[in-house]
Amino acid sequence: MISVGDTLPQATLTRLGADGPESVELSTLTNGRKVAIFAVPGAFTPTCHSAHVPSFIRTKDQLAAKGVDEIICISVNDPFVMKAWGEATGAADAGLTLLGDAECGFTDAIGMRFDAPPAGLIARSKRYAMVAENGVVQVLNLEENPGQCELSAGESLLDALA
């Protein structure tokens, strides 16, 4: 599993652009920049929708004041779902970047995959939040329980940067 001090792996994520799905190299968003990255088990799932995304909308300006250039949400979903979810939560209007990791490649590469067959969640991401500076993890807050959003909330990440 990725740890503080590790460099983020090369990863290709997706988003829905004006002409359809487009690839986004994570390194283009992290190189020379300070970014907050948070991941959720699934778009539109209860805790992700009602707690996790709203916590980053609430703290966006405060994180920016701490030098965070961009807030990126990653979920093991396709770009169509991520776009709809960004619109439904207000994350898109708030300026958060929502990226899909549909093949679970990035999530697997950083050791954050989990499966919960009884809930219908297969190849999903653990719930976490991190700050990476120039692609190097500076802060990593991982939830023990994917149904909770405390350590990985925007407020907790903001506190970790104090």
CA 88, 114, 127, 23 torsion: positive or negative? Answer: negative
Q: Which of 48, 73, 104, 149 is catalytic?
A: 48
Question: Alpha helices, DSSP H only, in the chain?
Answer: 26-30, 46-47, 53-65, 79-89, 91-94, 105-109, 154-160
Asked whether the beta carbons of 85 and 97 are under 8 A apart, the reply is no
Q: Could you give the CA distance from residue 86 to residue 73 in angstroms, rounded to a whole number? A: 10
Based on the residue annotation, tell me whether 48 is a catalytic residue of this protein: yes
Of 107, 103, 160, the residue nearest 130 (C-alpha): 160
What is the set of active-site residues?
A: 48
